[in-house]
A and B are shown apart, each in its own frame.
Chain A
Amino acid sequence: ETGVTQTPRHLVMGMTNKKSLKCEQHLGHNAMYWYKQSAKKPLELMFVYNFKEQTENNSVPSRFSPECPNSSHLFLHLHTLQPEDSALYLCASSSLRTGDNEQFFGPGTRLTVL
């Protein structure tokens, strides 16, 4: 596997379900990000992890719970979601050690909340 991978690619869940999104980066980066992408809206930054420590929580509702066990893996735990949470959830990673810190994105998880 190369780059940034995300699983599952598609997820349909009811409002009472609990599910988790997984992201893995194979680039040796030390920062990881969760974004929400909704139609006709800018990408919304949700969380930032820097060396496994959460450095940003962009006023995200508590029904979204991130976890970063190491610098290669990032999870987003979901529970009691609302239909308006349906969106594409993108994971990204970057190296904060060098250069312009280009963010590399995964393909995303298309989430539908019924």
Chain B
Amino acid sequence: QQQVKQSPQSLIVQKGGISIINCAYENTAFDYFPWYQQFPGKGPALLIAIRPDVSEKKEGRFTISFNKSAKQFSLHIMDSQPGDSATYFCAARGISGNTGKLLFGQGTTLQVKP
């Protein structure tokens, strides 16, 4: 079964520190890797996404690093802020078909301490 494995399950970081969340996938037939951010009581919202033809994408304090050969990708949050405290999900979309179907990781609960 196709899987996206995410770690760690939870993460505590001091304000101003770097938060790093890792994901690994087992199928090469993915063409799009988004990260979603979810606050309590809300649905997940797209944070940043990358395609496998680039190794890094940066948007503000958020960076995705992508290692195609290792089938791994990670989210880095620079200068982490208490407002970044949320649950983060990585995901991967299969190439076949056009259903937009996403396979999600288990989620990482991030707490940024003031």
Chain A: residues with Cβ within 8 Å of the partner, total of 25
A45 x B49 contact (CB < 8 A): no
Contact with A along B12-24 (1 / 0, CB 8 A): 0000000000000
Q: Determine if B98 is an interface residue (Cβ-Cβ < 8 Å).
A: yes
Contact for B101 among A40, A56, A107, CB less than 8 A: A56
Q: How far is the CA of A43 from the CA of B41 in the complex (A)?
A: 15
Q: Which residues of B contact A66 (CB under 8 A)?
A: none
Query: A31-B100, A42-B104, A43-B89 known; A108 and B43 CB under 8 Å?
Result: yes
Tell me the chain B residues, 16-70 only, with Cβ under 8 Å from chain A: 32, 34, 36, 41-46, 49, 51
Residue B102 at the chain A interface, CB threshold 8 Å: yes
Q: Complex: how many Å from CA A50 to CA B101?
A: 11
A100 contacts partner chain B, Cβ-Cβ < 8 Å: yes
A101 sits at the interface (CB 8 A): yes
Whether a CB of chain B sits under 8 angstroms from the CB of A72 is: no
Name A residues whose Cβ lies closer than 8 Å to a Cβ of B. 4, 31, 33, 40-43, 45, 48, 50, 55-56, 90, 92, 94, 96, 100-108
Pick 29 A–B contacts, CB within 8 A, sort by A: A31-B99, A31-B100, A40-B106, A42-B4, A42-B104, A42-B106, A42-B107, A43-B44, A43-B89, A43-B104, A45-B101, A45-B103, A48-B99, A48-B101, A56-B99, A56-B101, A90-B43, A90-B44, A92-B43, A100-B32, A101-B32, A101-B93, A102-B34, A102-B46, A103-B100, A105-B45, A107-B43, A108-B42, A108-B43
